[in-house]
Structure 1
Amino acid sequence: MTQSVQAQDLFNLKSITQPVVAGDRIFFVENGVDQASNGYRSVVRGVSGGEAWTAGSVGEQNTQPAVAGQHLYFAAKVGQAKPQLFTTSLNGGEALAVTVLMPEQAVSTVLASGDQQTIFFKTTETTEQPKFLNAEDFPQTRHVSRLINKADGHGWLPHQVTYRVWRYRPETDQLREVLSQGTDFDLTSTSADGRWLTVIQDVQPDDDRDFTRHAYCLDTATREWTDLTSGLKGQVADATISADGRRALIVGNDGSHGLHTVANVYLANRETGELVNQTASLDADPVPEFAADFTQNPSGKLAQWLDGQRFVFTAAFHGRSQLYVGDGGQVRLLSDQPREIVDFAVIDDDAVVLAVSAQDRPSLLVRHTLSEGNEHILVNPNATYEDTHEYAHPQHFTFEATDGQDLEGWYLPAQTTAKKTPVLLYVHGGPHANYGETFFYEFQVHASRGYGVVFFNPRGSTSYGQAYQDAVIGHYGEHDYRDVMSGLDVALAKFSELDADRQYIAGGSYGGFMTTWAVGHTARFAAAVAQRSVTNWISLFGTSDIGFYFNPDELAGDLFDEGGVSEYWQRSPLAYAQNVTTPIRLLHGEWDMRCPISQSEEFFTAVKRHGVDADMIRYPQSFHGVSRDGLPSLRVQRLDDMTAWFDAHPSVQK
C-alpha cells in the first residue's frame, strides 16, 4: 500500500545539485536532512556506466566537487571546524585534507581548470562571529558603522575579514595565493589553462548605496584586472570564461528597471571590451527565482560553454525551466518540459547533464542529448522511497484576471477519499519569484493532510517578462491581490470537490504581506497563517537588512519623499488591522533580519487588541528562510502548527 508524503519524510527525501563531468564519470552532491543531529547533510557521489558510489564524505557537509588528474577535490565541513579542502581518489576511499595548515580560513568555491592541472578555491578569514552566543557571562559589544551591516541567513557582517583565492597544483603539491582583499567577491570560472579567472564583485564596495556588480577577469600571471561588463549599470549574477580565456558568458541585467530588472545573457570579449546581448528578443529570465523549499546547495551556474563557439543556458519561462543553446548571436530552444532545471554541466559538445525537479518528482540526474533531445535517467536518489510513496499530482490551468490579464496557476488535490475538501490558497514570497514546475515538500504535506492547495503567479512574479514583473511596483495590494483572489474563485468553480465554506490562506514574506493584506480586505477565509510577514513598510525601512533600498525600489518612492510616510502606510497591512475578523496565526523566526519579528509583533498586537482570534509562534534560532533551510525540527513543527490552526477553524465565523 502506497503512502503520501508525511512531514517526517523531510528526513527521507534527497536532492541532487552541483554536477561536474570528468571523462566518463559524473560527480554530484546528494543533499539530505539528518533527524538525529537536526542538521543538513551532503555527500559527493559519482556515477558511471549505471553504477553510483560515494566519492566524498568526510564531514557533515561535502560540496563543491572538482576533478584534477585522478583525484576528486571538494570542500568539507567537519564538526565545528570551518570548511576545508579535501581530496580523494575518483573511486572514493580515504580523503586527505589539502588545507590542513589553514584551519582559520573557511573554504567555499572550488574550481578545476579545464586541463585538470590546477585547483582554485576561495577562502574567508575572520574571527568575528555573525551571531553572539546566547549565554555569555561577559558579552562583547558590536560596533555598527555601515548601512549594510547584516545579512539574513548569516547574521552581522564582519568589519575585519580577508577574502582570498588560492591556486593548488596537485602534481607539485604547490599552494599559492592568487588574490587577497578585504571586500567580498564571487569566484565563478577559470580558463582551461588556469591563467584567467572570472570574479564578480561590487563596483563601489565602500558605497552602500551603489548596488552595481560587474564581472571582472583576473590574469593570474600578471595580476591585471579587466572589467568585462563596464557597459552595464545593473547586477551580474554569473560569468564563465571560455577555454582560451578570450571571451566570457555573462548573465546579468542593465539596471534599467532598478533592482528588479530582468536579466539577459551577454557575450563579453576580454580583448576588445565588446559586450553583446545574446537574448534581447527572448521573453524568459536566465536568473530563475523558483519559490520552493526542497533543493539545497545549487551551484549558481547559469550559462556554460559547449565548445569554442556555442554555449548553453537555462531560463525561467511561465513557471518552468527552458534549456537553450546559443551560437553566433542566435539562441535556440532545446527543452521546454514542465520542470525546474536546478543545475547542469556540459558533458561534451552534444550532451549535458541536468539536475531536475518536478512537482511530483523531487530530484533526478539525467543526461540530455542536444541534437536529438532525448534523455535518460542517470540517478534517482529517491527511487526506494518512491516504491512505497505516491506524490500528489498537480493540475495546471490558466485564467483571466478581472481586467483580462492572462494568469497561470496550479491545483494540488488533497490525497483523500472525501467528496469535499478544504482549499488552501498559498501565496509565494518575493514578490519577484515564481511558483512553478518544481517539487514543493510543504505543499505535498498539506495535500496528504486533506487540503487542496491552489497557488498562482500574480503580477509581480518572475518568468513572465519585464512588464509583468513591473506591474506590482508602486501598486502593492492592487492587481496582485485581485489576481490571487480571482485565481481562487476560478479554482472553486473549476474543481467541484473544493469546499467554498472552508477556504484558507497562507504565505511567507511577500506571501505573508498578501495574507495579512487579504484578511484586512475580506472575511471570506475560515483562517489564515501569515509567516515572516511584511506588515508595516515604515518600520521595515530601517530594521530590515534590505529595507532602506528594497522599499523605495518596490514602492516607487522613498520614505522621506513628500507624501512618503502616507504612501508607505497605505500600502501596509497594519493600516487595515482594525478590519480583520479572520482567525490568524503569525509564524516568525526570532533571527529574521529580512522581515524582523517585530513585523509580526506589530500586527499581532493590533488585531489582538481588537478581539480577533489570533496567536503568534516564535521560532528560535531561525532566520527568514526557516521553512526552506531552518532547523529541520522546526520545519516539521511549523507544518504541524499550520495544520493545527486550520483544523481548529473548520468554517468561516458567522
Structure 2
Amino acid sequence: MNNKRGVVDTDIFRLYHISEVTIDDSGKHVAFSVRRAVEQIDGYQTQIYVYDVESEELAPWTSSEYPSHSPQWSPDGRYLGFLSKRDENVQQFFVLPRCGGEARVLSDAAYDVASYQWSPDGKSVVLCAKVSQPVAGQQPSTESARVIDTIQYKFNGKGFTYNQQHHLLLLDVRTAEITPLTAGDADDTDPAWSPDGEWIAFVSRRHENRQFDLASDLFVVSPQKGIVRQLTRTQGAVKSPTWSPDGSWIAYVGTERIDSMPNHRHIHRVATSEGDPELLSPAFDRTTVSGSRLVWSAEGEKIWALFEDEGRVALLYSSINDGTIGGDRNTPSQITSFDISRSGLIAGVQSSPTRPPELYIGADSPSFEQVTHFHDDWCDEVQFSDMEAFVGESKDGTSVPCWMMLPQPFHEQERYPGVLKIHGGPYAQFGYGFNHELQLLCASGYAVFFANPRGSSGYSEEWARALGRNRGITDYEDLMGCTDAAIEQFEFVDSTRLIVTGGSYGGYMTSWAVGHTDRFCAACSEAAPNNLYSMSGSSDLAGSNHRLVYGFSAQEDPEFYMERSPISYTQSMTTPLLIIHSENDLRVSIEQGEQLFVALKLQRKEVKFVRFPGENHGLPRNGTPSHRLDRFHHILSWFADHLPIEGA
C-alpha cells in the first residue's frame, strides 16, 4: 500500500535550488550555491556548500544570515571567492580561506559587483560592477527628474538601468586597490582572463544602433596597458567568452542574426590574433541553454555546454577538429549547472520529472552518481507524477511533441478534469526537469498535459522561427491539437471538464484561446500580453520583442498588432477567467491585465483580477514566498469553484 502524500503548496519550503557549480584545480573540491525559500522570514536564504570528493563530506561554507553565491576557487586553491550583500546592502567580493577563518571583503562599497574572475596567478581579480549607484534612502519625491534618451532604459527585476552601467575593474588581492579598466555609456560584462594573464575578454554593446538591435561584440582589454580590441564584427549576440587552454582562441555562445528573432545560440570561436569567427558544429540544429557556461577540455579539443534537446537539457561537447557533437542525449533529465576538472571529472546539477535537483559527479552524465541528498526525506514522503510522451496533430498535419502527467492518486476507472498548461516564451521548452507547480496540479486531482508547440526552443531553428506573423494562429492550432490528442489517447481525461492556464506568453495564449474557443470551463491568464500595441511602448523589451518577431513595429502596422491581441476578442470570451499580474512587472506591464479585466467587466463577463504588490515578472519562481502561496490558493480555488473535483 502506498502511503505517500501528494505535493502541496508549502512544499516550496522543501525545495533546494542548486546552481553555480565550480571545481578547484585539484579536482577534489566542488563548491556550489544552494537557495531555498524560508517560511519564517518570508524570503530566501542562499549559501555556498563544498563537497569533498575524496572524503565524500558535504558542508556549508557560508552562513545563512547573508545571501552568498557565485563561488570560485583561487588558482592555488587556498581561497574561495564569492559575492554577498552584507553591511552596506551592496553586493561585494569576499574571500574565504580554505584552512578556516572569517570571510574578508576585498571590494569597495562604491561598486555593486555583478560577477568576477580570478587572474591565472591569483594576484588579481577582475570585477564586473555597477559603477553608478542610486542615492541610498532617497525618496522618489525628492529625486531629480529622469532624463532618458535610450529606448532600453529599464529592465524587469532591476528597475531603471539607463544610468547604471557595468564596467570592468581590476582588484589587487593583496592591497585591495581597485583600478578601472573600462568606461563609457555601454555595459561591459562577462569578463574572462587569458591563460597568460595578458588579456581579459569581455562582452559589450558599443555599436551605434545598439538600442535598436540584438547585437553585442567580443572585446579584449589589456589590464597592464588598457588597450581595447574588438574581435567580432557586430553580426550577432555574444555571451560567455572562454579562452582555449593555449590562449589562441576564445569560444563564446552567439547568434548569427541581429534583426530578427528568435535565434538559436550556437558555440563559436574566434582567433585572438585576427580572423573571422567560426561557427562550430553547424550541422547540430539545437540551441545552448541561455546563459550556459562553456568549458574547454584540458587538451583543447572539445568545448562543453548545456543544450536544449527535445525537452532534455543535455551536457554535450563540440569537437574542434570535425564539429561532431558528443555526450549523452538519451537520459530524460535536465542538467542546469556544471563544471569539468582538468582530469575530466564532471560535476553537474541534474533533475528529472520525479526527482528534484541534486549534485552528481562522474566521468559523463550516464555514469553520474548522486552526492547530495537535500531532497531524500521529502521524496520518501511524496508521490510524484512522471511524464508520458505523446504526439498531437495540428490543423495542418504537423506533429506536436506533448506530455501527460497523471493525477494523484490515480485510479484507471475514473475520469479526471484536464489542465492544458502553456509554457512562457514562446522561445522556451517544457521537458524532463522537476516542476513543483505541475506536481501540485497533479496532486490536486488534475490530469496535466502540455506541449512544445511551434515557436518553442529545444528543436530545430526552423521550428523555433515557424510562427513569425502567425503567432497566435499556428501555435494555437498546435495547442488545440495537443488537447485533442490528450482526450483521444487518454481515456481518463474528461473532455467536458477542461482548464487552460499559463504565464507570460503562456498567459497570452490562454487569453487568446478563450477568445477563440469555449471548450474550456475555466482559465487563468497570468502576466499576459493582452494588447500588443500598447505593450510595444510599455515593456522593458519594447524596442525589440514583437518588432523583431513580426518584422515591423506597432507604429508601422497598428491594425496587425491589434489583430494579434487577445483584447480584440473579448466579446467572444465566455470562459470564466482569472487574471493574475504583478504590479512591478516591467516585462509585461500591469496595464495589460487591467485592460482585459475592464473590458470583460464592462461586458458583464465572469472575471477576477488578482494583483500582487511589489512583485515582478518572476513571481511564480522568485516572488515572496507568501505571495507564491497566495498565488497557488487563488489558482486552485478558481479551478475548484468552476470545475468541482469529486471528493474535494
5 Å matches for 1:30-429?
Answer: 30-48=34-52, 49=54, 50-57=56-63, 59-68=65-74, 69=76, 70-78=78-86, 81-90=89-98, 93-99=101-107, 102-128=108-134, 138=142, 141-159=145-163, 161=165, 163-169=167-173, 172-182=174-184, 183-204=186-207, 207-230=210-233, 233-255=235-257, 258-288=260-290, 300-325=292-317, 326-336=319-329, 337-370=331-364, 373-417=366-410, 419-429=414-424
Change (3 A) 1:566 1:253: same
* C-alpha separation in 1, matches of 2:274 and 2:432: 41
Kept in 1: contact 2:170–2:223 (CA 8 A): no
Find the residue that maps to 2:48 and give its secondary structure. Answer: strand
Partner of 2:542: 547
Partner amino acid for 1:211? L
* C-alpha separation in 1, matches of 2:429 and 2:391: 15
**Residue by residue, what CA displacement relative to the aligned partner does 1:445-488 show, whole Å, maximum 9, x if unpaired?**
11111122111011111111111111111101211001111101
Is 1:449–2:457 an aligned residue pair?
A: no
Kept in 1: contact 2:392–2:478 (CA 8 A): no
* C-alpha separation in 1, matches of 2:600 and 2:136: 34
Find the residue that maps to 1:603 and give its secondary structure. Answer: helix
Kept in 2: contact 1:111–1:120 (CA 8 A): yes
Partner amino acid for 2:492? E
Change (3 A) 1:160 1:574: closer
Change (3 A) 1:155 1:107: same
Shift of 1:18: 0.6
Find the residue that maps to 1:547 and give its secondary structure. Answer: coil
Shift of 1:160: 5.6
**Residue by residue, what CA displacement relative to the aligned partner does 1:141-197 show, whole Å, maximum 9, x if unpaired?**
43333211111111112426563322333xx34534251424312224222343322
Kept in 2: contact 1:15–1:32 (CA 8 A): yes
Kept in 1: contact 2:211–2:543 (CA 8 A): no
Shift of 1:400: 2.8
**Residue by residue, what CA displacement relative to the aligned partner does 1:256-280 show, whole Å, maximum 9, x if unpaired?**
7723121221121101324211121
* C-alpha separation in 1, matches of 2:450 and 2:166: 44
Partner amino acid for 1:254? E
Matched residue count? 632
Shift of 1:585: 0.7
Kept in 2: contact 1:584–1:614 (CA 8 A): yes
Kept in 2: contact 1:586–1:615 (CA 8 A): yes
5 Å matches for 1:521-560?
Answer: 521-560=516-555
Kept in 2: contact 1:555–1:568 (CA 8 A): no
Partner amino acid for 1:642? I
2:432 to 434, 437, 460: 437
Kept in 2: contact 1:286–1:302 (CA 8 A): no
Partner amino acid for 1:85? F
Change (3 A) 1:210 1:599: same
Change (3 A) 1:267 1:525: same
Partner of 1:464: 459
* C-alpha separation in 2, matches of 1:359 and 1:131: 44
What is the RMSD of the two structures over their aligned residues, measured on CA atoms? 2.3
Shift of 1:130: 11
* C-alpha separation in 2, matches of 1:207 and 1:129: 28
Partner amino acid for 1:191? S
Kept in 2: contact 1:324–1:331 (CA 8 A): no
- Which ranges of structure 1 fall in alignment gaps of 5 or more residues? 289-298
- Per the normalisation by structure 1, the TM-score is 0.92
Change (3 A) 1:4 1:257: farther
**Residue by residue, what CA displacement relative to the aligned partner does 1:184-226 show, whole Å, maximum 9, x if unpaired?**
1222422234332221111327742143101222222332223
Partner of 2:514: 519
Change (3 A) 1:368 1:234: same
- Which ranges of structure 2 fall in alignment gaps of 5 or more residues? none
**Residue by residue, what CA displacement relative to the aligned partner does 1:120-144 show, whole Å, maximum 9, x if unpaired?**
32221323269986xx675654333
1:592 to 585, 595, 599: 585
Kept in 2: contact 1:304–1:345 (CA 8 A): no
Change (3 A) 1:113 1:382: farther
Give the fraction of aligned pairs with identical amino acids, expressed as a percent: 25
Find the residue that maps to 1:348 and give its secondary structure. Answer: coil
Shift of 1:556: 2.9
Find the residue that maps to 1:260 and give its secondary structure. Answer: coil
**Residue by residue, what CA displacement relative to the aligned partner does 1:485-536 show, whole Å, maximum 9, x if unpaired?**
1101111122222221210000111111100110011011110000011111
**Residue by residue, what CA displacement relative to the aligned partner does 1:382-432 show, whole Å, maximum 9, x if unpaired?**
223223223222112223323221211111211124622211111111111
* C-alpha separation in 1, matches of 2:283 and 2:391: 24
Partner amino acid for 2:303? F
Partner amino acid for 1:472? L
* C-alpha separation in 2, matches of 1:566 and 1:206: 27
Q: Quick check: 528-537 or 111-120, which moved more?
A: 111-120
Find the residue that maps to 1:338 and give its secondary structure. Answer: coil
Is 1:624–2:617 an aligned residue pair?
A: yes
Shift of 1:305: 4.2
Find the residue that maps to 2:326 and give its secondary structure. Answer: strand
